[in-house]
Amino acid sequence: MRISELSERSGIAVATIKYYLREGLLPPGERTGPNQASYGDEHVRRLRLVRALIEVGGLPVATVGDVLRAVDTPDLPMFSLLGVVQGSLISPAPAASDAEWERAYETVRREMDRRGWSMKPAQPVIEALTAVLVRAAQLGYPEWGETVLPAYFDGARIVAETDVATALSAGERDAVVDAVVVLTVLGDTALAAIRRIAQAQVSLEKLRSDSAPSA
């Protein structure tokens, strides 16, 4: 199909598609003339993925490029690929004093050790979590590393088991990679939304049990 049809089918303006082509987010079409190229279904699909990473994942275009280059490197080990995807989809850590940072970092490591989680995950992820604990302490909640963190680990473990099983069930490497990227970017938003739904439900149950007459 021509770029005009690609634009129609994807709902993305021709100028934007040309920008993605220049930035390498989209592989070039098959050249059919001096100023013309032909595009296939894989371009429609890739455009959807780019929009999901930008709109749902909130990634800058340059970072989307990093993720897609990793996805397109056929001999990159799955673990390195996971690292790139996971590292990209997390906010950078803010500044904190060494002492605050050290204390929060120790809390994270202790929680992982307690569970026997020997995996060294991508460093940006550990830093992002450490940064959250630093922030919480700065905002007056230094105890959350002890009181709140364990339940978050329990909940995240249940979600991660389904994440990994779902991604692996996709079959071939390319399909697994695609599922990992889509699930990672969409999963955060889904989890944030469901957490709020669950909070509302738990609050309601609490309200009901508090106002019920005691036996």
Site for a copy of itself in 2-41 (CB under 8 A): none
Kindly state whether residue 206 participates in binding a copy of itself, applying the rule CB under 8 A: yes
Among 14, 91, 114, 174, binds a copy of itself (CB under 8 A): 91
Cβ atoms of residues 170 and 179 within 8 Å: yes
Among 140, 146, 171, 211, binds a copy of itself (CB under 8 A): 140
Q: Which stretch binds a copy of itself (CB under 8 A): 17-25, 29-37, 64-72, 161-169?
A: 161-169
Least gap, CB of 60 to a copy of itself (angstroms): 13
Of 169-188, binders to a copy of itself (CB under 8 A) are 178-179, 182-184, 186-188
Residue 115 amino acid letter:
R
What secondary structure letter does DSSP report for 94? P
100 binds a copy of itself (CB under 8 A): no
C-beta of residue 138 within 8 angstroms of C-beta of residue 101: no
Task: Pick the binder of a copy of itself from 4, 106, 138, 174 (CB under 8 A).
Answer: 138
Residue with tokens 């992982």: 112
What DSSP designation does 38 have? E
Across 11-26, b (16+ Cβ under 10 Å) vs e yields ebeeeebeebbeeebb
Contact residue for a copy of itself among 13, 14, 61, 200 (CB under 8 A)? 200
For a copy of itself, the binding residue among 71, 81, 149, 177 (CB under 8 A) is: 149
| Beta strand 30-33 pairing with 36-38 | antiparallel
77 near a copy of itself, rule: CB under 8 A: no
Question: What is the rounded distance in angstroms from the CA atom of residue 150 to the CA atom of residue 20?
Answer: 42
Closer residue to a copy of itself, CB minimum distance, 37 or 105: 105
Output phi, psi for 95, to 5 deg.
Answer: -75, 150
